[in-house]
Amino acid sequence: DVKVTQSSRYLVKRTGEKVFLECVQDMDHENMFWYRQDPGLGLRLIYFSYDVKMKEKGDIPEGYSVSREKKERFSLILESASTNQTSMYLCATRRDRVHGYTFGSGTRLTVV
Amino acid sequence: AQTVTQSQPEMSVQEAETVTLSCTYDTSESNYYLFWYKQPPSRQMILVIRQEAYKQQNATENRFSVNFQKAAKSFSLKISDSQLGDTAMYFCALNAGGTSYGKLTFGQGTILTVHP
């Protein structure tokens, strides 16, 4: 089974800090995604990547950037954390359209 | 643009009974995939069932089955013989082709509680 590992389960950061959320997969999947999950809004796509050094904006990219230097690692960066970025962040990987996504267990980020 | 709507924020059911979660979607694509994901309190998202739009037969996975109504753009999930372990948030999701290739669009989620 594909394993998707997010480095932190809970994270508390201060407003204005630069925050890195790390995601690592142990299979050779090209597609990786970052979502944020908020009550009543479901999951919303922030950024995704189809290959190394390749990235595309999702639906809500403002205030975020990403990095994919190696195929197995996809990092989400909050350039200057704000309280409205307090949320659950989920990383996912995908083999192909038919099989859907495999998710990490999420990072609950609180910005104070 | 593609959208997914789950109109039931919360539902509850007694153990061993059957419950149906509703989902409607919209897309202009003809080739798409629909999914139901389960997120228990552990937060790990788990794929429950998938449906390919070009297949008329409704997908079934053990106690989980879907009612896929393509013309009505409806994709409901039926859970039979509900168990306490089914307590979770359930998300309906759509993967359409075209310019949104690869992107999963999620509904708002339905919290299901199974009571003993």
CB contact under 8 A, A48 and B42: no
pLDDT (tens digit per residue) in A16-59: 999 999 999 998 888 999 999 999 899 999 999 988 888 999 99
Is the pLDDT at A100 greater than 80? The verdict is: no
Chain B residues touching A94 at Cβ < 8 A = 102
Q: Render A42-67 in DSSP notation, one character per residue.
A: EEEEEEEESSTT--EE-S--TTEEEE
Dihedral, CA of residue A92, residue B109, residue B52 and residue A31, to nearest 10: -10
What is the full per-residue pLDDT of chain B (116 aa) written as tens digits? Answer: 789 999 999 999 999 999 999 999 999 888 899 999 999 988 889 999 999 999 889 999 999 999 999 999 999 999 999 999 999 999 999 998 655 557 889 999 999 999 99
Report the C-alpha dihedral over residues A66, A68, A72, A76, rounded to 10 degrees: -10
* CA angle in degrees (0–180, nearest 5) for A47-A51-A57: 20
Could you say which DSSP state residue A40 is in? Answer: T
Stretch A69-93: mean pLDDT: 96
Contact B50 A100 (CB under 8 A): yes
* Contacts B44 to A, Cβ<8 Å: 103, 105-106
Spatial separation of the C-alpha atoms in residues B12 and B113, rounded to whole Å? 5
pLDDT per residue over B80-108, tens digit each?
999 999 999 999 999 986 555 578 899 99
